[in-house]
Structures are given as C-alpha cells and as structure tokens.
Amino acid sequence: MSIEQERRVVQQISRPVSMVAETVVSSAPTTISPIREYLNNRGSGRRADSSFAALMLVCACSIFVIVLFIFTVLVMNSHLSLVAFGWKFFMREAWDPNAGDFGALPFIYGTLMTSFLALLIAVPLALGVAIFLTELCPRPLRAPISFLSELLAAIPSVVYGLWAVFVLVPLMRSTIGPFLLKTFGWTGLFEGPNFGVGILTAGIILSIMVLPIISSLTRDIMTAVPNSQREAVLALGATKWEMIRIGVLRNSRIGIVGAVMLGLGRALGETMAVTIVIGNHPEITKSLFAPGYTLASVIANEFSEATGDLYYSALIEIGLALFLVTIVVNAVARLMVWAVTRGAPSRTS
C-alpha cells in the first residue's frame, strides 16, 4: 500500500462506521464535523494526566510530610530536657519551674486516670446506644436518634468545659460527691475534701465527649456483621439478647475494641474541657476527688509564659510524648476497625 492509501485507512478507522462506506467509495476527503476535528487535534493527554497525578500525589504526601515535620521540630526542641533528664523524665514525680526540676509522671498518671474513668463510664453507655440503634430501634426512629447522638460530637470542647464549670462542678460538690462517699467510701477512693473539681469530674466530662465516637463506630461495626450470622443464631433457638450477644457482639469484638481505642485517642488529647475542671495540681493521689493534671493541660496552661530554656524544653518533651502516644493509639485502633469493616456494606439507617 502507498503511504497515501495507508493514511486514508487510518482516517477511516477513526471515523464512525456509517461514514466508512462513503469514504471507501470516494477518494476525495469528506467534511469532518467540528467536534471530530477538535478531538483529532487534541493529541494524547498523557502529559496532562501524569502531571495531574503527580500534583495529587504531592498533596497526599504533604500531610505525611507535615506530621514528620512536627515530629522533628518536637524532638529538636526537647533536646535540652532529653539531655538533662533522659528517660527517667517519664518516671519522676516533680514539677518545679522555679528550681528547674521537671518530671512527667504526675501528668501521665492524670491523663491515664481520666481517660480510664472516661472509658469506664462511656463504653457501656456507647455499647447500649449502638445495640439499641442497630438491633432494637424501630426503623422510623433510627435516623433521628442516631443524629442526636452524633450531635454530641459536634459540640466544641470549650463549651463542654463551660457547662462543666457551671453545672457539673456544683453538682459534684453538692450531690454526686456525697452520694459516692456514702456508698463507696469503703473503697478508699473518695477520701479527702470534695471541691467539685478533680479527676472524677474530668473523667465524667471526658466520657460525654468520647461517647459519640465510640457509639458511632460500634454501630458501623455491628452493621457490618452479615445478617446470615443473626439468622443462623436465631434459627438455633436463641432469644433476641442471645442473638445480639452471640451473633453480633462476638463477631465484632475486635472492631469494638478498635472503636474504644479511638475514643481513648480522643480522651488522651482532650485539653480545654479537662483543664477547666481537673484542678491543675501535679500530684498523684489515690482519691478521685483530688485535683490532678494531664499532659495536654500542662502544655495549654504553662507554655505561653514558660521562661527558661529547660522549662520550655520540658514542656515540649511532654508534647512529644503526647504526640507519640496518640499516634500509636489511633493507628492501632484504625487497624482494628478496618479489619472488621473491610468489604462490609455501608451502614443503612
């Protein structure tokens, strides 16, 4: 075939089938529609596509780079404190900015204690909400109730702190505190004066804040359990509660643990609401009425006025510890939740 003929064949191939017959008959070029002409002249979009893909990759990597950058800055700025105290920093019980003596143990205790209390109160409630909404709730009520429970997550934490100071703290002082002392005083956990602020109050306010996270994720996980499991258990003669326990909860155990850990991740980093009601006193006491101090609160309170390099550096080291702990907890939690919900149908409300 001559080159001329080859070109014509290629042109024919790129034309709609109906026009091919015409071009075979006539050797002169027929009119091409403007759209076809435009499309023919565009050329390959390879360069535009690959540069767009590269740009999106840069955006995606930028998040990772920012996190890495934060980590590097934290390590560099806590250098002084790392050198002065070493790893014992996290096991010392001291906080004297005037004498330059710092130790993070009271804050670690406060953070763990308040988070543990928050989970103790929130997990049963969140499980209850999730079970009710997925298994027991009549369909028309499902959407409004789930919307309301997730509304709790939208409230800013400062507002929680404000509510706590004006409502929860006086309530603790006048009603809840004396009641707990009367019923559970034998445990030795409720000794000492009760001023309304303290670890218990902080734990309660944190539990309200992590409740929507745990309940919403648990609902996702429970919905991911296939209906065949439920039907199978019911077919064996189980009651409704046994069906929920054996067919659903047992299968979603890992995911629920993941949801709880995500709630823990939020509780660990919560600052404003906690700092308002925890009493900001860096001491480890057994009593739940006593004031405490958390990692996030000490940074929020003391960072802007920190004079002295060692003080500054010690606060940044606390920030580094908080950063690492929260990342690890969140990463493990996400992994667990993903392990259960992958390939599952999306939640139907």
Partner 1 sequence: MSIDAQSINGAGATFPYPIYSKWFSEYNRLHPEVKINYQSIGSGGGIRQVSEGIVDFGATDSPMSDQQIARAKVKTQHIPTVLGAVVPVYNLPGTNKDLNFSGDVIADIYLGKIKKWNDSRIAKDNPGINFPDQPILPVYRSDGSGTTYIFTDFLAKASPDWAARVGRNTSVRWFAGIGQKGNEGVAGMVRQAPYAFGYVELIFAAHNRMPFGAVKNPAGSFVKASTDSVTAAAAASAKAIPADYRVSITNAPGAASYPISSFTWMLIPTVSKDAGKTRAMVGFLYWMLDHGESEATAQSYAPLPKQLEESVRKTVAQIR
The residues that touch partner 1, with contacts defined as CB under 8 A, are 95-99, 165, 169-170, 173, 193, 195-197, 275-276, 279-281, 291, 297, 301-302, 304-307, 311
Give dist(CA 264, CA 270) in Å, integer: 10
Query: Closest distance between partner 1 and the C-beta of residue 293, in Å?
Result: 8
- Of the pair 174, 239, the CB lying nearest partner 1 is at 174
Which of 203, 199, 202, 207 is closest to 284 using CA atoms?
199
Give the number of other CB atoms < 10 A from CB of residue 77: 17
Q: Which residue has the tokens 């009641």?
A: 179
Query: Closest distance between partner 1 and the C-beta of residue 112, in Å?
Result: 20
**Contact between residue 115 and residue 268 where contact means Cβ atoms under 8 Å apart:** yes
Query: Closest distance between partner 1 and the C-beta of residue 93, in Å?
Result: 12
- Of the pair 23, 178, the CB lying nearest partner 1 is at 178
Which of 345, 141, 349 is closest to 227 using CA atoms?
345
- Of the pair 281, 347, the CB lying nearest partner 1 is at 281
CA distances from 93 to 37, 136, 271, 295, 313 (A): 78, 49, 21, 13, 17
> Rounded to the nearest 5 degrees, what angle is found at the Cα of 173, between the Cα atoms of 171 and 176?
60
- Of the pair 304, 346, the CB lying nearest partner 1 is at 304
Query: Closest distance between partner 1 and the C-beta of residue 205, in Å?
Result: 16
- Of the pair 224, 318, the CB lying nearest partner 1 is at 318
DSSP state string for 298-346: HHHHHSTT--SHHHHHHHHHHHHHHHHHHHHHHHHHHHHHHHHHTTPPP
Q: Regarding beta strands 95-96 and 101-102, do their DSSP bridges make them parallel or antiparallel, or are they unpaired? A: antiparallel
Query: Closest distance between partner 1 and the C-beta of residue 221, in Å?
Result: 39
- Of the pair 169, 244, the CB lying nearest partner 1 is at 169
Query: Closest distance between partner 1 and the C-beta of residue 279, in Å?
Result: 4
- Of the pair 2, 307, the CB lying nearest partner 1 is at 307
For 102, phi then psi, to 5°, come to -130, 145
**Contact between residue 212 and residue 149 where contact means Cβ atoms under 8 Å apart:** yes
Query: Closest distance between partner 1 and the C-beta of residue 169, in Å?
Result: 7
CB under 8 Å to 123, separation ≥6 — which residues? 214, 260, 263
Give dist(CA 306, CA 80) in Å, integer: 14
Query: Closest distance between partner 1 and the C-beta of residue 309, in Å?
Result: 10
Query: Closest distance between partner 1 and the C-beta of residue 274, in Å?
Result: 12
CA distances from 11 to 2, 27, 43, 173, 335 (A): 14, 12, 15, 88, 54
- Of the pair 150, 302, the CB lying nearest partner 1 is at 302
- Of the pair 248, 318, the CB lying nearest partner 1 is at 318
